[in-house]
Chain A
Amino acid sequence: MLDSLYQLVSIQTLAWLIVAFPLAGAAVNALIAVGTAKREMGAYRGVVSFFGVFLPLLAFAASAAIFVTMTNFEGVDPSFITGSLLQWAVTPGLVVDIGLKIDQLSIVMALMVTGVGTLIHLYSVGYMGHDEGYARYFAELNLFLFFMLVLVLADNLILMFVGWEGVGLCSYLLIGFWFEDKAKARAGTKAFVVNRIGDGFFLAGLFLVYAVMASANAPVGSGYFNFEMMSRYNAYFVPAATLISLLLFGGAIGKSAQIPLYVWLPDAMAGPTPVSALIHAATMVTAGVYMVVRLNFIFALSPFALSVVATVGAATALFAATMGLTQTDIKKILAYSTISQLGYMFMAAGVGAFSAAIGHLVTHAFFKALLFLCAGSVIHAMSGEQDIRNMGSLRLRMPVTCWTFVIAALAIAGVAPASGFFSKDAILWQTFERGQYGLWAVGFIAAGLTAFYIFRAVGMVFFGESNIPPEKWKRVHESPTSMIIPLIILAFLSLLGGVIEVPKILGGSDRLGAWLSRLIAYETAHAPDPSMAAREIIVMVITLLWSIHFVVLGWVIYAQRREWPDAVAKKISIIFRLVANKYYVDEIYDRLIVRPLNWVSTKVLWQTLDDTFIDGLAVHGTARAVGVWANIVSMAETGVLQQYLLYFLIGAVVIVGYLAL
């Protein structure tokens, strides 16, 4: 079947099609959105649904075809590049091509992005069905998919940055999708501005990469930022590796919401829930992890940079998990959970376990997307209610949503055999194995907290007594089929997605690690020690029991004994208030950064510099000076002809006198 496909299109064209399909969808839907802006959508709603879901599905099919083809290669490296579609920038000192690179890493990402993306598009048909901005929503969601695919498939760092900024733009547009609500529009702006801070570092990193490649006398024509070229000139990066790695990681901190720039992600929950699932859980926020793994050959040169990555990741994992404990908004719980899980991924990358980071990235995409979609289903059924204290017992009314949520919760809690167990265990074990016991302990504690806060949500939303008023309870219903299907598919993926990296110790073969091994030289250099097998089993079992213990604890307390946590909260009210207010980080940022900046902008830059100096002195001052002088000079213009003649005469005498003498 694939053979007959390749008689029609070459594999390079197929790679371009992955990117082109979502772009086409965005174009069609944008045209419909503009065309029906002031009118009832009517029959166009069906057209939007069709293109909005079908084109991402085609992109997924193209990715799958390429992936299957690549797995058929044995022994040889199946990665390929498409070559440049066109040369974007051609100068004597810099050439940037627009080209794609399909290798083991990028095809896995493309499969994940298009697969989860298609499911979430399908889900959106039901979730956003009644919204007036239906076509605009799908145009922006398809555009996001396009930019995300550019980001993961780009063959050079500049094109990757284009995708990086593009997904940031779509994130901004979709967070502020209901922009009539000022708070939601501000949340979008906050996300955008905080991301710009990280992107500033990223850009500085790009400039340094350029400086290194230029000093290495690399051939300009093939592109300084091409990943192939960069890895070929790897040795020249040694002197600047720490600085470049840290600057690029600064970009990742912004995009992937790590300490200290994580503050935008909880606010980003203002967007529609499928957007939170796709952009702020499964795909865009993992771009930072992808970038670190993609450039692992630079990061591996600097042990210091790697330890910074690991430390920031571990700190974020723990810090965000504690904040997840006290949240009462179901989407905010999941947002802090996402930040925490991203911290795990960076911790893995930081200790050099790059394939474990990608493994967790993929399984996290499955179960976190599922958690968000279930949350969306609940919010949909409760007509907009997001506070878990006002829910309870919903399993009776929405069984599918309930049990898929439980599966995803088991996966994120790391209970075997769900996918999260394998990916989280891979991270914790590889951290332990490499002797990073401190980081391992932090990850271990965070794993327990994760299990606890997610089953707190399960207990309060789906079990225990219902806190829903009876007249509302009657209207609560299971979601439509187009929303249920993605839930079920993702539940299977969350349950079984772990097969990609069953460790050798459990009779698996760590397929993901083997698949990515060509790309990750650093990891293969640290080959695991076979004598550690017994320890691996022990650590694994301890982690599993630790997680299960918190799963049961969280579920029992919040489904059966809801008065306990309140009593505990009263006893430790200072700590509780500190955590419930998210450690006052937003307030501290507000006092330390936002308000001083506002003050400087208003008082100094605007009212002093702009109003007084530029406007007052420079612009109006010039006009006033001209006016004053014009008045003085025009006094000579009396209109008396004979005065003019006198001036003329005096002038003539002076000139003639000067010439004569």
Chain B
Amino acid sequence: MIITVHHYLVLSILLFTIGAIGVVTRRNALIIFMSIELMLNAVNIAFLAFARWNLLIEGKMIVLFVLAVAAAEAAVGLGIVISIYRNRQTVYVDEMRLLKG
């Protein structure tokens, strides 16, 4: 079986969907966070597949950017989660509904 760009894309879509479902359904902020990372990396796979297929350098560049941003985001996000835990002794997002209309 020859592995083509389509296989990579299907993998990317599957990973993205799993990540999205995780973000929407899980209650623990840390797991939501991991799901977001999963979505980002799904996108990275798609970028790399297209870059390889089209023989272009830009896709690879963007992946490096995404990794850098994801690292920064992880630092900030984990800081926020810890701060919330200190204040409210919980990291379950459904217990935080201050924005209720």
Contact = CB atoms under 8 A, between A and B. Distances in A.
Interface stretch (A71-79, A270-278, A451-459, A638-646): A638-646
A222 B80 CA distance: 84
B48 interface: no
A638 B25 contact: no
Nearest to A636: B101
Interface stretch (B2-10, B51-59, B89-97): B89-97
A646 B96 CA distance: 17
B24 A649 contact: yes
B70 interface: no
A642 B23 contact: yes
Given A640-B94, A641-B96, A642-B94, A634 B23 contact: no
A312 B96 CA distance: 88
B99 interface: yes
A638 B24 contact: no
Nearest to A641: B93
B98 interface: yes
Interface string A633-661: 01011111110011001000000000000
Interface in B58-101: 93-94, 96-101
B93 A639 contact: no
A496 to B, nearest CB: 92
Contacts of B25: 642
A637 B101 contact: yes
B20 interface: yes
Nearest to B100: A639
Contacts of B24: 642, 645-646, 649
Contacts of B100: 637-639
B94 to A, nearest CB: 6
A639 B23 CA distance: 16
User: A-side binding surface: helix, strand, loop or mixed?
Assistant: helix
A406 B20 CA distance: 112
Interface string A191-232: 000000000000000000000000000000000000000000
Contacts of B93: 640-642
Contacts of A649: 20, 24
Interface residues of A, number: 11
A646 B77 CA distance: 20
A603 to B, nearest CB: 43
Contacts of A634: 101
B99 A637 contact: yes
A114 B23 CA distance: 95
A642 B27 CA distance: 9
A513 B31 CA distance: 113
Contacts of B97: 638-640
Contacts of B98: 639
A645 B99 contact: no
| A637, A638, A640, A649 pick with most chain B CB within 10 angstroms | A640
A645 B101 contact: no
Nearest to A645: B24
A645 B89 CA distance: 24
A90 B93 CA distance: 73
Nearest to B94: A640
A639 B95 CA distance: 9
Contacts of A642: 23-25, 32, 93-94
A573 B84 CA distance: 101
Nearest to B21: A649
A30 B96 CA distance: 71
A533 B4 CA distance: 135
A649 to B, nearest CB: 6
A646 B20 CA distance: 9
Contacts of A639: 96-101
A426 to B, nearest CB: 88
Contacts of B96: 639, 641
A634 B97 CA distance: 14
Interface string B8-42: 00000000000010011100000010000000000
A120 to B, nearest CB: 74
B23 A645 contact: yes
A177 B98 CA distance: 66
Contacts of A640: 93-94, 97
A340 B99 CA distance: 82
Contacts of B94: 640, 642
A129 to B, nearest CB: 74
Contacts of B99: 637, 639, 641
A649 B36 CA distance: 13
A579 B23 CA distance: 97
A331 B32 CA distance: 97
Nearest to B29: A641
A642 B93 CA distance: 8
Contacts of A646: 24
Contacts of A636: 101
A646 B94 CA distance: 14
B88 to A, nearest CB: 14
A441 B93 CA distance: 105
A416 to B, nearest CB: 96
Contacts of B23: 642, 645
Nearest to A650: B24
B81 to A, nearest CB: 13
A645 B19 CA distance: 13
B98 to A, nearest CB: 6
A604 to B, nearest CB: 43
| B93, B94, B101 pick with most chain A CB within 10 angstroms | B101
A636 B32 CA distance: 22
Contacts of A645: 23-24
A639 B100 CA distance: 4
A637 B100 CA distance: 6
A648 to B, nearest CB: 9
25 contacts: A634-B101, A636-B101, A637-B99, A637-B100, A637-B101, A638-B97, A639-B96, A639-B97, A639-B98, A639-B101, A640-B93, A640-B94, A640-B97, A641-B96, A641-B99, A642-B23, A642-B24, A642-B25, A642-B32, A642-B93, A642-B94, A645-B23, A646-B24, A649-B20, A649-B24
Closest CB pairs A-B (n = 7)? A637-B101, A639-B97, A639-B100, A634-B101, A639-B99, A646-B24, A642-B24
Given A637-B99, A645-B23, 7 more contacts: A634-B101, A638-B100, A639-B99, A641-B96, A642-B23, A642-B25, A642-B94
